[in-house]
Amino acid sequence: MKFLDQAKIYLRSGDGGNGVVAFRREKYIEFGGPDGGNGGRGGDIVFEAVENLNTLLDFRYTQHFRARKGGNGAGRDCTGAAAPTMLIKVPIGTQIFDDDRETLLADLDKPGMRIVFLRGGDGGHGNAMFKTSTNRAPRRADPGWPGEERWVWLRLKLIADAGLVGLPNAGKSTFLAAASAARPKIADYPFTTLHPQLGVVRLSMTEEFVLADIPGLIEGAHDGAGLGDRFLGHVERCAALIHLIDGAAGHVVDAWRTIRGELGAYGGGLDAKPELIVLNKMDAMTPREIASRKASLTKASGARVMVMSAAGQIGVDEVLRAVFDMVRENRK
């Protein structure tokens, strides 16, 4: 399945039905009077967050959503039928922005969450509503009220407990595959990950968390370099970040500072999230290199640094346990 995390769509709620002019005409009843009914209400536009979706791909092919018009009134004081609600199902974590792409209108971040986004127009009054003691035979009926319409942007921010960040080829996809049942593309060249991936990490029968892998960042990503910072929104909701660094490539402190700089430039509180620094590919380093690079990272960051090899399955369980403890503590 292809991944799409942004889409622009057009929405229009239904117009209200028209009221009618009608009079009661029955045998032996000389003055029947007005009995024109009101129009029915137009259909609403409702969004619902559902669990079995993880992409906005459907909105690439269906971009216009129009609810039905309410039914017109009829004689004998019959009110027109209300139009059905148009339900639009979106993945959990979908945000709805105005056409300016900056004004947040709604955030569907919980399973089953529903919002009435656009209300249908009210039905118009039939002539029975205008009968008074001085106007016994009104010939006035109102049209239904028009519905609402607008263009909006949908943006998906995946719901995950922990997020993987790092330079391209740091081993993030390999780590995700080793820690969960996810099967991301893995290759020995940069930018093999082109869209976010999710995996469920199960430590025991009762302990699990969701891990998100996003495409690698490079210096200047916040200005559009590489794949840009577009996918950083998918780790905004994470309780903790796993900063993966390729230990075999050397210059580990520069790599750490590059990603920290991009997180700070992006904003959204990413640079303030709890971070676990992990030196990856320990099986491609000598013990002396491991000790030296770990000490350099610890001194530069002032934080705990762990060492592992995702490809060799060395130290992965210890890293996952540390991440779970951070997620559990943050969620409290």
In angstroms, how far is the first alpha carbon of the chain from the final one?
A: 35
* Closest to 46 measured CA to CA, from 96, 98, 102: 96
Locate tokens 């407990």: which residue?
161
- Edge to edge, what strands does the sheet with 149-156 contain? 64-66, 6-12, 149-156, 94-97, 104-108
| Alpha-carbon gap, residue 86 to 71, rounded angstroms | 16
**Residues annotated in the binding site for GTP, as ranges?**
166-173, 191-195, 213-216, 280-283, 309-311
| Alpha-carbon gap, residue 130 to 181, rounded angstroms | 67
- The sign of the CA dihedral 143, 148, 150, 155 is negative
| Alpha-carbon gap, residue 39 to 83, rounded angstroms | 11
CA angle 44/47/53 to nearest 5° reads 145
**Residues annotated in the binding site for Mg(2+), as ranges?**
173, 193
**Residues annotated in the binding site, as ranges?**
166-173, 191-195, 213-216, 280-283, 309-311
